[in-house]
Amino acid sequence: MNRAEAIIDLGALEENVRRILSSTKASGLAVVKADAYGHGLVPVAKRALKAGASWLGTALLEEALTLRSEGVSAPIIAWLTPINDDFESAIQSDVDLAIPSISHLEKVLIATEKAGKRARVHLEVDTGMSRGGALKEWRALCEKANESVRAKKIEVIGIWSHFARADEPGHSFNDEQLNNFRQRVAQARTLGISPTILHLSNSAATLTNSDSHFDLVRLGISMYGLSPDVEKMGDSKKLDLKPVMSLRSQVHLVKEVPAGSQVGYGGTALTINDTKLAVIPMGYADGVPRNANSTAGVLIGNQKAPIIGRVSMDQFVVDLGNDSIARAGDWAYLVGSEGADGYTADAWAKACGTINYEIVTRIGARVPRVFIN
């Protein structure tokens, strides 16, 4: 039996994909970067395709090549490829590449000569986020791309960009970026670029802004049943999404301690009353944030037990209360539960001053993923 495990409900993932795509005319791209947000790259990718996604998206080229090695034949785009990446392997494996600069395009063109075939590319334009994509050199990039198309070295499959504030529905900057995107696409067309796919929408825009859907919507955090922003968009339940990951660990030890006992490194917490404590054998080496406070905890036998003291590398302590009947070997649910309402990724994020994305993606490789449904 595993010390700890992340249970991945592929049935819930499939429901989320189907539910989101039912509300748009656009095709769906399942974002499976970062080991599918910590949920398991290959099983998630295959199930998302079964659920109706027609594309896959990764940040890193090695993620895309892993999918190809596992027999995934659907279109894949990798969008965070350093300028000296293995573009030849990408081209040979029919992995689409995001092109954010002329320098990147020039490196890809060299790789096409070695690969002996055309590269499939998506020109990335900066519409206001000031992160990825071409800005001042957009026109020159389009001109170079058109020249390369005519030379039969590349195919421009798409033009794309990324929202900075789509998780703030109604913010004026979203309209500004949308208008910028349309203008840059129009400019590219006048320069001879004829993309077959335009894509701009992330999860938040897909859920709230149909004007931004274009040909393809990118399903990221929403596919995993989590809200892009709990404060501004509501939680999973409000968005009709089912969290896909549950996280649990076996209780290592239960012990009685008197009132006034110091707990953990630095004695940062004291027991107020005589109580029972449980040691949970997971820590920051497993991805449990060290700065988690007592608003996070575990569910044991349908009873919540808050964290007390600091999270250690391999373990943390929770306060069971003096009347608890919990025992060593019981399952303690950090996220999700069997039946009762337990702690959520959102609750852990709030306890750590972060976002739910970080909670699920940081769960370490030494926590096995167990796939159900």
Domains and CATH numbers, the chain: 10-233 (3.20.20.10), 245-372 (2.40.37.10)
Q: Which two tokens stand for residue 151?
A: 């030379």
Mean of per-residue pLDDT scores for the chain: 97
Average pLDDT in the 143-165 region? 98
Look at the alpha carbons of 60, 63, 65, 68 in this order and tell me if their dihedral is positive or negative: negative
Predicted confidence at residue 23, as pLDDT, reads 96
Phi and psi dihedrals of 109, rounded to 5? -65, -40
Predicted confidence at residue 342, as pLDDT, reads 92
Q: Which two tokens stand for residue 335?
A: 């996220």
Portion of the chain with pLDDT greater than 90, in percent: 98
* pTM > 0.75: yes
With vertex at residue 264, the alpha carbon angle to CA 261 and CA 268, rounded to the nearest 5 degrees, is 75
Average pLDDT in the 136-152 region? 98
Predicted confidence at residue 341, as pLDDT, reads 86
Phi and psi dihedrals of 300, rounded to 5? -125, 120
Residue-wise pLDDT for 156-195, tens only, equals 999 999 999 999 999 999 999 999 999 999 999 999 999 9
Burial of 196 (0-12, 13-18, 19+ CB in 10 A): exposed
How far is the C-alpha of 43 from the C-alpha of 61, rounded, in Å? 18
Residue-wise pLDDT for 316-349, tens only, equals 999 999 999 999 999 999 999 876 789 999 999 9
**Helical axes 61-69 vs 41-51, angle rounded to 10°:** 70
**pLDDT of 314 above 80:** yes
In the block, tokens 């707990």 appear at 263
Per-residue confidence band for 1, with pLDDT thresholds at 50, 70 and 90: confident
- Residues serving a catalytic function are 33, 265
Q: Which two tokens stand for residue 320?
A: 């069971």
Predicted confidence at residue 161, as pLDDT, reads 98
